[in-house]
Structure 1
Amino acid sequence: MDREALWNQLEEAVVHCNRCNLARSRTNTVLGEGNRQARLMFIGEGPGRNEDLMGRPFVGAAGKLLDKMLEAIDVRREDVYIANIIKCRPPNNRVPKEDEAKICLPYLRRQVYLIKPKIIVCLGATALHYVIDKDARITAVRGNWVERKGYYMMATYHPAALLRDPAKKYEAWEDFKNIRDKLIDIKSAKE
């Protein structure tokens, strides 16, 4: 089966998924969006209200901040891929329950498999716990690279956390400069 057919199959599975209670209250599923051959992939927690309404990730205030952060390191949003741990909005934007995340993780793994990014950035503690280390604390490990199965992975603060606590913006800026440098290294190694 070609890649396009595999993407179509994944999209259909997510749109019609009703494996957990989140399916009952969603307006739209939010698979992800961006360059399906991106070197850089961002993974957040899950859709919020705006994302649920539009069926797109990171379109609210946190998404606007993420766009500005990408621009600051000379990366266009359309050149990256953005996804979430879960594909449906939890009630009141609560943190996803473990069983909800575990149900959605195969969809995310399929996305990573199809995209084959070189760099995966986990935005926030929930993404960190399900992608890099379930016992790690974001404040302790953010900004540090982990190499696993051919992927360079890093966690940084979720843009929503930066909106709540602007004092963390300096650390996030350092992380994004680190992401930029890793992208440059990967591009140089390829040439």
Structure 2
Amino acid sequence: MPTLLDIEAEARGCVRCPLSEGRTQVVFGVGNPNADLMFVGEAPGQQEDLKGEPFVGRAGKLLDQLVMEEMGLTRDSFYVGNVLKCRPPGNRDPKPEEIESCRPYLEKQIELIDPNVIVTLGNFATKLLLNTTQGITKVRGQTYPYGKATLVPTFHPSAALQGGGGDVISKMRADLVRAKKVLATC
């Protein structure tokens, strides 16, 4: 069976979609490979593309702060990745064909990490993993089965930074508390 390092090496050589032409590097995922908790975001931003690690910009700092405050966890105790492994130009939304190109990498990550709880951050990760067209505002606030795991959808932290403010943050906090409660029963 392939390891996370094997899948990451495969992703680094990926040319399945045009995003590979403009990337600085593949941003695969980081954290505890045996984690009970996994976060899945949308795509690398500029800072992530430069550093090669997901959620290192402002959104990542907010995510880390909220996870610490609501769950008491730091990055070394969970795993974080994205639907896309390459940065879309200008941080635009992922295209359906890009999502489909990266889907096998994300599915392998989830399979190998085998988390008990997956927290999806924003529309793209949530719609993909729940196989729904409903947006995050409709599906957040509850939990869903995902294979052997429980999926907890919440807003992407960038939504709070782009004008959603305190309302989005308070909903994210509630969702993280929900994820913590599910983790406690695993």
Counterpart of 1:177, as a letter, is: V
Q: How does 1:74-89 map to 2 (within 5 A)?
A: 74-89=72-87
Give identity over the alignment, percent.
39
Contact 2:136 2:153 in 1 (8 A): yes
Pairing 1:39–2:36 present = yes
TM-score (norm 2): 0.95
Runs of 4+ residues over 3 Å off in structure 1? none
Quick one: distance in 1 between partners of 2:132 and 2:97? 14
- Is the partner of 1:122 in helix, strand or coil? strand
Query: Is the deviation greater in 71-80 or in 95-104?
Result: 71-80
> What's the offset of the Cα at 1:7?
2.2
What RMSD, in angstroms, separates the aligned Cα atoms of the two structures?
A: 1.0
Quick one: distance in 2 between partners of 1:60 and 1:105? 23
Q: How does 1:84-95 map to 2 (within 5 A)?
A: 84-95=82-93
2:107 corresponds in structure 1 to 109
Structure 1 gap segments, 5+ residues each: 187-191
Query: Is the deviation greater in 94-103 or in 177-186?
Result: 177-186
Pairing 1:132–2:164 present = no
Counterpart of 1:39, as a letter, is: D
Contact 2:38 2:119 in 1 (8 A): yes
1:69 corresponds in structure 2 to 66
Contact 2:27 2:54 in 1 (8 A): yes
1:28 corresponds in structure 2 to 25
Q: Give the one of 19, 22, 33 matched to 2:16.
A: 19
- Is the partner of 1:18 in helix, strand or coil? coil
Query: Is the deviation greater in 143-152 or in 17-26?
Result: 143-152
Quick one: distance in 1 between partners of 2:85 and 2:185? 32
> What's the offset of the Cα at 1:169?
1.2
CA distances 1:11-57 after superposition (whole Å, capped 9, x unpaired): 11111111110011100110100000000000000000000000000
Count of residues paired in the alignment: 183
TM-score (norm 1): 0.93
Q: How does 1:109-188 map to 2 (within 5 A)?
A: 109-164=107-162, 165-166=164-165, 167-186=167-186
> What's the offset of the Cα at 1:8?
2.6
